[in-house]
Every structure is written in structure tokens, then in C-alpha cells.
Amino acid sequence: MSLEITALDAGYGPVPVLRDVSLQVNANEAVAIVGSNGAGKTTLVRAICGLSTPTSGKICFDGQDITYHAGHLRPKTGIAVVLETRGLFGELTVSDNLRIAEVSGINVARPAGFQHFTLEDVFNLFPVVREKKDTRVELLSGGQQQMVAVARALLLQPRLLILDELTTGLAPKVVQEILLALAALRTRGMSLLIIEQNIKLAATMTDRAYVMSLGKVVYEIGHGGWEQALADDVLTKAYLHG
């Protein structure tokens, strides 16, 4: 698995947001994108997922140029996302929400050795999702819905899972549960791109990071660089400028 973004510009209609963004996520990596409100993190996620069209630059997945591929093809490519707006069907049960993804994920071609996720796998990762499987999603708490959203993304059989602010507003205990689940995913060889406001949490979840401000990548935290970065005021400055 490799995701390579080169010199990407993207925005909303005539309003530019991302400017010259380049980054990579490699096989078995967990990478964070951090930055203040409005820095452009979600805009970047939307571009990676084909939900917005870049104005220039390139997005490659496993060497294939997917910049202008339609968003609905991303799961087939191997990319799944949990957006800030979770996009679940509230009036359907948890099981029905999961089944929709399961069907979409059934026929995707994956490399030899790829461990497909079953319903049982996602129930084991998130026991509360099993407990609530017959409940309508709109009756679940925010944290429970977030777990359903991750479970659903996993049933699309992604090789890269993108999580946009998954932990926002969750109780510490639920955050811990999610951290454990993410650690389990990494042992299966899945790559993660995690958008996270809480940099301490980002540091525990990922190997390295990109810091965004005003639509640009302004700082990079390399492998093993989190500790230094947390002590470093470059990060604080990037946030203050955001």
C-alpha cells in the first residue's frame, strides 16, 4: 500500500484551500495530520476520497493516478474513510448499516494474503457494536455511532483507513477502546491516516505526522520524532497561525 500526494491544490468552487500539499503514507504506517480548525485537514481528506476535485496536483495509490477517479470507486481501490459527519443511516439498525458495507466489500480484489474483515471480526473489535446490532443507529450515543462508523469502514476491506477526528467528544474510556482497536488493525497490516486535534493523542496513535496550517503542510514530524515535537514550540506556532 502506498498513498502519494504531490503538490495538491484544492478548494470549494473558486475558493482555494489546499496549497501545494505533498505527503505520503506507506505500507503498515499510521500517519497523523494535525492542525488548527480551518487548516484544511478535512478538505484534504475529501480530496483523497474523491469527494472534491483538486484543481492541480496528483494523488496516487499504489502507483496508480486516482486524482480524478470518482469517489464511489475509492473502496474498490482500497481506501475507506470515516468522515466527521459519520454518514450512517440513522433509521436503519446497526446490522443493516454494516450489511450495506459488507455487500460493497464482498467483491473487492485484494492482494494475496489480505485478511478480509468479517462481521464477527468487527464485533470482536467493538463488542458494543455487537450488543447494539439490532438497535436503530439514531438511538445510539455519539461514541457508539463512531464505533459503528469504523466497523462499517472496515467491512469495505480497506488497505488504507482514514479517520477524520474520530475521538472528538468521546469519553476517555471510549477513546481507549478505539485506541486498542486501531492497534489491532495495525497488526493486520492496515495503514492509517488519522486526523486528530489532540496532538498528545495523535502521538500515541501514529508513527509520524504532518502539521497543517492555512492549507499548507508547514511541518513534518518524522519516525520517532513525536517526543521532540511535543516539546518543540514549532507545533504550537503552527497552531497559533491557524
Ligand X SMILES: Nc1ncnc2c1ncn2[C@@H]1O[C@H](COP(=O)(O)OP(=O)(O)OP(=O)(O)O)[C@@H](O)[C@H]1O
Residue of 31, 32, 34, 42 interacting with ligand X (CB under 6 A): 42
* Residue 213 touches which member of Mg ion, ligand X, none, C-beta under 5-8 Å by kind: none
What is d(CA 114, CA 157) in angstroms, rounded to the nearest whole number? 9
Q: Which of 40, 54, 75, 158 binds ligand X (CB under 6 A)?
A: 40
Going through 115-174 in order, the beta strands assigned E by DSSP cover 160-164
Q: What number of H helices and E strands is found in the chain?
A: 10, 10
**Residue 231 binding target from ligand X, Mg ion, none, CB below 5 to 8 Å by type:** none
Give yes or no for residue 48 binding ligand X (CB under 6 A): no
213 binds ligand X (CB under 6 A): no
Choose the stretch contacting ligand X; rule: CB under 6 A; options: 12-20, 85-93, 123-131, 174-182.
12-20
* DSSP reduced 3-state for 231: helix
Residue 17 contacts ligand X per CB under 6 A: yes
Q: Does 5 bind ligand X (CB under 6 A)?
A: no
> Is residue 225 within a helix (H) or strand (E), and if so which, with residue range?
none
**Any idea what DSSP says for residue 224?**
T
Tell me if 15 contacts ligand X by CB under 6 A: yes
Indicate the SS3 state at residue 7.
strand
Q: Is 173 helix (H, G, I), strand (E, B) or coil?
A: helix
Find the radius of gyration of the CA atoms of the chain. Answer: 17
Of the candidates 32, 35, 47, 158, which one interacts with ligand X according to CB under 6 A? 35
Binding site for ligand X (CB under 6 A): 12, 15, 17, 35, 37-43
